[in-house]
Amino acid sequence: MKRIAWLMVAAVMALAVTAAQGGHEFPVYPSYYPHEIQIETLAPERAAELLLAGKLHAYVGREPRFDRPIPESITTVTSLGALVVVRVNPQSKRIKDQASACNVANAAVRELAIRRKDLELHPYPITPFDGDYLYHADRAATAKARVLSENAGAAARALRGLKFREFDASGAKPDAAADWDVAVSDVDVKTLVAQSTFATNGWIAPPWAREGWFVASLILGPAIEASDLRGRVQDELARLRAGTYANTTERINLERELVAELTRPCHTTIAGYTLRRETLNTEYSTGVENIAFDALAGLDTPVFIRTAKLKDFPWNGWLLLGIDTPPTAAWNPIAGFTDPFGRLMWNAIGDPAVIPAPNDVGWILNRISDVQASPKP
């Protein structure tokens, strides 16, 4: 009887286990979008204190300076920072023709690679962070090998003592009559792309804003002085914008040819790029997880806010963000949100139909799409 009773109890327990139901929690969440987002302007030192205290989830901007050892829960994400632009002075005594201008530019690039520890040597305008880099990887490798070749090294040694100066690529050109050989500028790619982008009727335009060839045209195009070369560049840009090509192969070849034309003159060239490192709190109970970030914009992107999983509730919570620049622009979706603070805020409250893909030149849907399977044959 005891054995029969034991079997009956075991059977009831098995039945109870198989009949168990889940709670009210959804097995798949449509989004981890926070129900409250706080954005505050903070100095790097203050951001470091709040990150260590678990009172800040992410800091958009410069790396904070910590005054004590950093725990493993404080991590960084890396994205493209700036393209380092080298401009040769046409009035320099070292410049006699196109060949001498190229020698000076290559010598300057080699010297910058030694001087600047933050510079990733990459003398080509499209970087591994760009979604269309694979279309240009062979030419990027060739450009780097050319700068590092023995002949280029000998030319660089013969050009010792180059006079460098800095200039703002977004402002006035450096005075060519001044006593300098090479001017250097860091062009922030995130800012350049943001200034060339606008939102209208729920869409972000232009669709090619994140294409490497487009960014290269913004930096190198204005420096082209030869009228025939400028005309070819403008024609190729017009074809790419209008989509007047037969297929993908023709489009890629057109993009490659455009970049080849842009990099043909040596008076303005790219030395390489710098990296942007932004800080996150991923502590188990107070931090974030499951985050996505953008290869060009880092954390200042809609995809970060829409994927950062908080720990307050299974599906959302309070997202605390810091930024290193105070607001300066108007807050309106027509002509405002043009400064870093405003763009971050618009990334949080804007609701476009599509948002930039984090590691590609394309776009992804802002919401879940009800995609129906094709009917079985």
Q: Which secondary structure element, helix H or strand E, spans residue 354, and what is its range?
A: strand 354-356
In a domain, 328, yes or no: yes
Report whether pLDDT(130) > 60.
Answer: yes
Q: Residue 187 — φ and ψ, nearest 5°?
A: -105, 110
Single out the residue in 273, 303, 332 at which a domain terminates: 273
Place of tokens 């393209």: 83
CA neighbor of 197 nearest in space, from 26, 16, 41, 350:
350
Same domain, 99 and 189: yes
| Residue 28 confidence (pLDDT) | 46
In a domain, 93, yes or no: yes
Same domain, 312 and 182: no
Least confident of 45-49, 202-206, 346-350: 202-206
| Residue 77 confidence (pLDDT) | 95
Average pLDDT of the residues in 134-156: 91
Same domain, 268 and 156: yes
Same domain, 356 and 308: yes
Average pLDDT of the residues in 223-229: 90
Q: Name the DSSP class of 263.
A: T
Same domain, 158 and 185: yes
pLDDT digits (tens, 9 = 90+) for 230-266: 999 999 999 999 999 999 999 999 999 999 999 999 8
Same domain, 35 and 164: no
Single out the residue in 273, 293, 316 at which a domain terminates: 273
Q: How high is the mean pLDDT of the chain? A: 85
In a domain, 21, yes or no: no
Domain span at residue 210?
Answer: 80-273
Q: Could you tell me if 60 and 319 are in contact, meaning their C-beta atoms sit under 8 angstroms apart?
A: no
Single out the residue in 273, 299, 322 at which a domain terminates: 273
Average pLDDT of the residues in 55-84: 93
Same domain, 234 and 88: yes
Same domain, 91 and 173: yes
Same domain, 233 and 135: yes
pTM: 0.85
Q: How many domains, in total, are found in the chain?
A: 2
CATH of the domain at 242: 3.10.105
Instruction: Count the Cβ atoms, other than its own, within 10 Å of residue 186.
Output: 19
Same domain, 125 and 202: yes
How far CA 159 is from CA of 47, 212, 310, in Å, comes to 45, 32, 56
Q: Which secondary structure element, helix H or strand E, spans residue 254, and what is its range?
A: helix 248-262
- 270 versus 194: the higher-pLDDT residue is 270
In a domain, 8, yes or no: no
Same domain, 287 and 354: yes
Same domain, 128 and 145: yes
In a domain, 16, yes or no: no
